[in-house]
A and B are shown apart, each in its own frame.
Chain A
């Protein structure tokens, strides 16, 4: 079985974002970039499936500007076998990404496709279910446990109120939640080895996909600021303020 995973290039989770003064977007100049944390979890799960003998090959896809190849190399250093880079400039929206991934699924016929539940830049949380719809596959989103047995994936999902376990026939699209696994770090020898692993490149045109955006971002603004608060000295003062000043407790 082949596993298809993704490595979206996003602003590193530890960077604090600044909105550009002309409100056209966020400032990405000289900002540290990384593999989307949920995609790191997807890559880790795929590599573990191969290590456990459930899969033979892990193929990683990244879609975007030329620099996305850095994120493919990171995934290869983490254990993916082969990369696919789809070069696309401009505003790539989840529906367009899902269409590109659908074209790659058609080419590669993976037995399982693992995506992140959400990209931490746009916070859309759409691509996995969209890809599943376009490819006519089942989906298991927000996975916190995954077992492969008899051509099926049994997935425990993090849902409001608790957990749900479902069984989906393979191939299927899985999206990762935080507790699925703890991704490993890439070792120096593996980073060296990753440089020799093959990466194929495509354009959306070659894949026959129209990536024209459906949404236009009119402006991006900073959120409203909270007014500064006060430091209280004691628990007594705190309760007094909550009762008599803020009037939020009785």
Chain B
């Protein structure tokens, strides 16, 4: 058995989601190779070589892999990946974009967002917004998997000493042209990496009021999240959406403010260690998953919490 893990990186360093994906590959067993594809990403490959438990790093450093364009990256993965029993990528917007394309090129199924490894061909995954967990077995020669970021304990970023090999295959499908990125500059921790998250919902009433959340976030070193309703209303940018169709998070502490607790929101946060809900409606479903519930007007409660945190 041998696994190929597709790294997520920023050219310099490896993102935490990759460490979780390596952990899933370790749970399957066998050798682990990490593929670092990108342009000017040699430093990221060196970082990948230090990951605990990684046996080999493949570096595909070429302009055609800049921005992880799905057409080119999927062609590369399908070419390299046919020699492996398992191909894994994190369940991120990047992984969800290129990996199904690679699976189809290999004519194999993909098993999305695995939350558990039962055996080398059998995996668990949430379905119906986490209302059920399916155990699925694959009959394909290559198992293509995306890995849920909250489901496995990340391996250590240091401690390994893998070799780095360059890959010469260059596939330029010429199918897509990247124009621009608008990546928000983060003043706070990233949602999927934060130990504490405070999220606001429609109850916040407008985007200005998110300042009340941000003040508390700054005192707790927390990331700020949002419900779909808050994003749709323009109170918060779309990549802060937590839920079935947004980000899946499981911090030590999740504080939901003015969020009713629809199943689609719970799908993204109910594996958090401690959940706090602040809502003026005592019947809001969010209280059914909260460890600590405070039935209160958020415009009164948030300033109090802020004050108490000193």
**Which residues of A are interface residues toward B (Cβ below 8 A)?**
11, 13, 16-17, 19, 26, 93-95, 98, 117-118, 120-134, 137-142, 144, 154, 157-169, 177-179, 214-223, 226, 229-232, 234-236, 238-239, 241-242, 246, 248-249
User: Could you list some 26 contacts between A and B, CB below 8 A?
Assistant: A13-B264, A17-B132, A26-B127, A95-B109, A95-B110, A120-B128, A121-B128, A129-B97, A129-B101, A133-B104, A134-B104, A139-B70, A154-B179, A157-B93, A158-B93, A160-B92, A165-B180, A166-B177, A167-B177, A223-B131, A230-B291, A231-B292, A232-B294, A248-B252, A249-B220, A249-B309
Lowest 4 A-B CB distances belong to which pairs?
A235-B304, A133-B104, A130-B104, A126-B100
Verify A235–B296 contact, CB threshold 8 A: yes
Q: Given A94-B110, A141-B96, A223-B133, do A236 and B292 touch, yes or no (CB 8 Å)?
A: no
A214 to chain B, nearest CB (A): 4
Instruction: Give the segment of B39-47, B135-143, B161-169 that binds chain A.
Output: B135-143
Q: CB-CB < 8 A to B289: which residues of A?
A: 226, 229
Verify A215–B244 contact, CB threshold 8 A: no
Q: CB-CB < 8 A to B274: which residues of A?
A: 242, 246, 248
Verify A215–B111 contact, CB threshold 8 A: yes
In the complex, which residue of chain A has the Cβ closest to the Cβ of B291?
Answer: A229
Instruction: Give the segment of B22-30, B51-59, B151-159, B232-240 that binds chain A.
Output: B232-240
In the complex, which residue of chain A has the Cβ closest to the Cβ of B17?
Answer: A160
A-B interface contact total, Cβ < 8 Å: 253
Cα distance A168–B179 in the bound complex, in angstroms: 10
B239 to chain A, nearest CB (A): 6
Q: CB-CB < 8 A to A140: which residues of B?
A: 176
Pick from B70, B136, B276, B294: contact of A216, CB below 8 A: B136
Cα distance A216–B138 in the bound complex, in angstroms: 7
Q: CB-CB < 8 A to A217: which residues of B?
A: 134-136
Q: Given A98-B104, A160-B93, A216-B137, do A248 and B238 touch, yes or no (CB 8 Å)?
A: no
Known: A126-B103, A166-B178, A215-B136. 8 other contacts (CB 8 A): A19-B132, A120-B129, A126-B100, A165-B179, A215-B111, A229-B289, A235-B294, A246-B292
Pick from A26, A130, A161, A169: contact of B184, CB below 8 A: A161
Q: CB-CB < 8 A to B183: which residues of A?
A: 161-163
Verify A17–B128 contact, CB threshold 8 A: yes
Verify B275–A178 contact, CB threshold 8 A: no
B63 interface hit (Cβ, 8 Å): no
Verify A179–B134 contact, CB threshold 8 A: no
The interface on chain B, measured as residues whose beta carbon lies within 8 A of the other chain's beta carbons, has a size of 90
Q: Given A93-B109, A215-B138, do A231 and B295 touch, yes or no (CB 8 Å)?
A: yes
Q: CB-CB < 8 A to B295: which residues of A?
A: 231
Verify B101–A139 contact, CB threshold 8 A: yes
Pick from A124, A129, A158, A179: contact of B74, CB below 8 A: A129
Verify A167–B176 contact, CB threshold 8 A: yes
Pick from A125, A162, A229: contact of B239, CB below 8 A: A162
Q: Given A226-B270, A229-B275, A239-B308, do A218 and B135 touch, yes or no (CB 8 Å)?
A: yes
Cα distance A214–B238 in the bound complex, in angstroms: 34
Cα distance A31–B276 in the bound complex, in angstroms: 32
A250 to chain B, nearest CB (A): 9
Cα distance A139–B252 in the bound complex, in angstroms: 37
Verify B132–A223 contact, CB threshold 8 A: yes
Pick from A93, A121, A126, A242: contact of B253, CB below 8 A: A242
Pick from B93, B101, B127, B129: contact of A159, CB below 8 A: B93
Verify B128–A26 contact, CB threshold 8 A: yes
A93 to chain B, nearest CB (A): 6
Pick from A95, A123, A134: contact of B126, CB below 8 A: A123
Pick from A123, A137, A166, A219: contact of B112, CB below 8 A: A123
B130 interface hit (Cβ, 8 Å): yes
Q: CB-CB < 8 A to B70: which residues of A?
A: 129, 132, 139, 141
Cα distance A17–B291 in the bound complex, in angstroms: 23
B136 to chain A, nearest CB (A): 5
Verify B67–A164 contact, CB threshold 8 A: yes
